[in-house]
Amino acid sequence: QLSSKLLKVLFNYYIKGDGNNRLTPYGGYRTTWWTTSPRLRDDLQEICIKMGKSANFQLVKKKNETIKKIRGRVIKQEHPIWVSNLIIKSNTPSVYLHRNRRDNPNTKNREEWIDSHRGMVYCVEVPNHIVYVRRNGKAVWSGNSGTTGDVAKKLGRKCVMTDIKPVRKDIIRGDACFCYPPHNVQLVILHPPYWDIIKYSKDRNDLCNAETLEDYLRMFRKVIDNVTPFLDDGRFLALVIGDKYSKGEWIPLGFLTMNEVIKAGYILKSIIVKNMIGNERGKGIANNLWRYRALKDGFCVFKHEYVIVFQKKNVGLPLEKPKVFPRMLGKCQRHFP
Ligand SMILES: C[S@@+](CC[C@H](N)C(=O)[O-])C[C@H]1O[C@@H](n2cnc3c(N)ncnc32)[C@H](O)[C@@H]1O
């Protein structure tokens, strides 16, 4: 909850009280702390990453490990002991990458590689798209946005990504109701909020802040009407969307938004039903909770969302582009410099 500045103060005083700053042979300092508490170890690691640094830890004494013998009596370690080090350098872009150590010529750079993955890939989604992940004692911030753009890049396709609240530098800030690409495109992929299930921002133009279902559909339709003139005739629009339920009522956002696209003059080509169980597990929502909610409110357990594919009718003539009023132009130029 504290700001990075206050966390630094807290951390510095913790180290003064129960850690140490040792001079290294290279003239710098090494900040180290020891603890028997996994909770304290993990919390301090989290504080370090929130300070813009990172920390690793190592088990130095196992539980029941013999420490020494005093007059024949075996002294054993009652609790495991962990030692943690603050990492000041090498925090970006790769963390925990082992460099050749000057004091140990046998150490080698740890290899990094990109591999193709076969099998399921789950995408956790959180409102600010930044997830704190810890595996095998290594903690990192992990971004989860812009997946479509990453795939496009991998396939060597040009793509423009926009979001009203972007979380990556390669995503352009823009309200999809107004901003448009610098030139015509051949595929549009829309992944709007599923109305108000997740609050992505407080922006009143964010679709998640639509007060009523009618408002949500009206805003969604505005997005379609805005992008349509820039999609080449005969080309495709894919909509990724899921339903929602509220107060015991199933709200078929998938079909309602699908109708809006059809009303805007598109031909429906496919309704792909996508298994989303993994997504929900990624969000930390246990399957049992979904099951409980479904049974409590009297509907089937949600296990799917949709990818709905449309084709823009081939009208033969280029559609007239929307008139850009000076005030709006300023807004768009800011979106697409
Ligand atoms: C379901 S999420 C899409 C997540 C995306 N596929 C990803 O991997 O990060 C919906 C996104 O729509 C964005 N959004 C909501 N209203 C918008 C608007 N009017 N213009 C542009 N983006 C909007 C939200 O900020 C949110 O990031």
Question: Does domain 145-335 sit in CATH 3.30.70?
Answer: no
Q: Give the model's pLDDT for residue 331.
A: 41
Domain boundaries, the chain: 4-91, 145-335
CB of 175 closer than 6 A to ligand 1? yes
Question: CA-CA distances (angstroms) from residue 264 to 21, 197, 227, 228, 275?
Answer: 65, 25, 11, 9, 28
Q: Each residue of 213-253: pLDDT tens digit?
A: 999 999 999 999 999 999 999 999 999 999 998 888 899 99
Given the CA of residue 194, which atom of ligand 1 is nearest to it?
Answer: 1
Q: Does 128 have pLDDT greater than 50? A: yes
Q: What is the DSSP string of 132-149?
A: EEEETTEEEEEE---HHH
**Rounded mean pLDDT, 46-60:** 90
Which of 140-144, 149-153, 221-225, 280-284 ranks highest by mean pLDDT?
221-225
Ligand 1: distance of its center to the CA of 274 in Å? 19
Q: Is 115 left (phi over 0), alpha (psi -120 to 50) or beta?
A: beta
Q: Give the model's pLDDT for residue 309.
A: 97
**Rounded mean pLDDT, 5-24:** 93
Question: Does domain 4-91 sit in CATH 3.10.28.10?
Answer: yes
Q: Does 318 have pLDDT greater than 60? A: no
Q: Each residue of 244-280: pLDDT tens digit?
A: 988 888 999 999 999 999 999 999 999 999 877 655 4
Q: Give the model's pLDDT for residue 336.
A: 39
Q: Does 208 have pLDDT greater than 90? A: yes
Given the CA of residue 123, which atom of ligand 1 is nearest to it?
Answer: 8
CB of 206 closer than 6 A to ligand 1? yes
CB of 129 closer than 6 A to ligand 1? yes
CB of 163 closer than 6 A to ligand 1? yes
Closest C-alpha to 293, from 301, 303, 285: 301
Looking at the chain, the number of H-run helices and the number of E-run strands are 8, 16
CB of 228 closer than 6 A to ligand 1? no
DSSP 8-state class, residue 228: G
HEC string for 174-222: CCCCCCCCCCCEEEEEECCCCCCCCCCCCCCCCHHHCCCHHHHHHHHHH
Burial 230-254 (b: 16+ CB within 10 A, else e): bbeeeebbbbbbbbbeeeeeebebb
- Window from 43-52, 127-136, 321-330 with minimum mean pLDDT: 321-330
**Could you tell which of 123, 126, 191 is best to mutate to test the pocket of ligand 1, judged by most ligand atoms within 8 Å of the CB?**
191
| Residue bearing the CA closest to ligand 1, atom 24 | 200
Structure tokens at 82: 């962990």
The interface predicted TM-score (ipTM) is 0.98
**Residue 193 and residue 170: Cα distance in Å, rounded?**
20
Neighbouring residues of 40: CB distance < 8 A, sequence distance ≥ 6: none
